[in-house]
A and B are shown apart, each in its own frame.
Chain A
Amino acid sequence: MSRRSPILWLVIAASGICGAASAAHGQQGDNAVQQPAMVPASVPASAPAASDSNVGTAGATASPAPAPASATRSAGTAHASSAASPAVRERESLLIEGEKRFGTNCGRCHQSPHHFPPRMMATVVRHMRVRATITDEDMRLILLYMTQ
Chain B
Amino acid sequence: MRRTSTRSVIYGWLRVFAVIATLLAAPLARCQSTSADQDPSTDTTADSAYETIRPVPIFSAGVAYNSFFDGGVDNVHPLVSPVTLIPFGQNWLIESRETFEINLAPVPGESGYHGALQKEVDYLQLDYIANSHMTVTVGRFLTPFGVFNERLYPVWIRDLQTDPLILPIATGPSGAGTGAMVRGGFDLTSKVEINYATYFSTLSTDTPLDSERMAGMRAGIFLTGPRLEFGGSFQHLLQGDRSNAFGFHAAWQPRSLPLDLRAEYARADTGSGYWVESAYKLSQIPVWRDELRHVQVVGRMQQYFTGVVPDDDLPAVNTRLFEFGLNYYFYDDLRIVSSYGRQFAPEGGNMNIWNVGLTYRFVLPIGHGDIQ
A interface residues, Cβ below 8 angstroms from B: 1, 8, 12, 15-16, 18-19, 22-23, 25-30, 32-33, 54, 57-59, 61-65, 90-91, 94, 98, 104, 107-112, 114-124, 126-127, 129-141, 143-144, 147
Contact = CB atoms under 8 A, between A and B. Distances in A.
B93 A127 contact: yes
Interface string B23-58: 000000000000000000101111101100111111
B4 interface: no
Sorted nearest first, the 5 A-B pairs with minimum C-beta distance are A59-B258, A136-B132, A15-B362, A122-B55, A133-B195
A104 B45 contact: no
Contacts of B57: 123
A135 B129 CA distance: 11
Contacts, number: 211
A119 B187 contact: no
A129 B369 CA distance: 20
Contact of A19 (B184, B286, B333): B333
B278 interface: no
Given A30-B329, A115-B372, A135-B193, A147 B58 contact: no
Nearest to B365: A120
A93 to B, nearest CB: 10
B95 to A, nearest CB: 6
Interface string B166-192: 000000000000000001111100000
Interface of B: 41, 43-47, 49-50, 53-58, 61, 63, 80, 85, 87, 93, 95, 102, 117, 127, 129, 131-133, 135, 137, 150-152, 157, 183-187, 193, 195-197, 220, 224, 227, 229, 251, 253-260, 281, 283-284, 286, 289, 293-294, 329-334, 360, 362-365, 368-372
Contact of B334 (A19, A33, A133): A19
21 contacts: A19-B360, A27-B332, A29-B329, A59-B283, A61-B255, A64-B284, A90-B41, A108-B151, A109-B151, A120-B58, A121-B53, A123-B58, A123-B93, A124-B363, A127-B85, A133-B183, A135-B184, A135-B187, A140-B47, A144-B46, A147-B49
Nearest to B152: A109
A32 to B, nearest CB: 4
A84 B196 CA distance: 41
A59 B256 contact: yes
A143 B334 CA distance: 24
A23 B329 CA distance: 13
A129 B136 CA distance: 12
Contacts of A90: 41, 44-45
Given A32-B283, A62-B255, A118-B53, A110 B58 contact: no
A94 B369 CA distance: 25
A110 B333 CA distance: 10
Contacts of A135: 132-133, 184-187, 193
A58 B227 contact: yes
Given A33-B293, A127-B85, A140-B46, A58 B253 contact: yes
Nearest to B184: A133
Contacts of A147: 49, 53
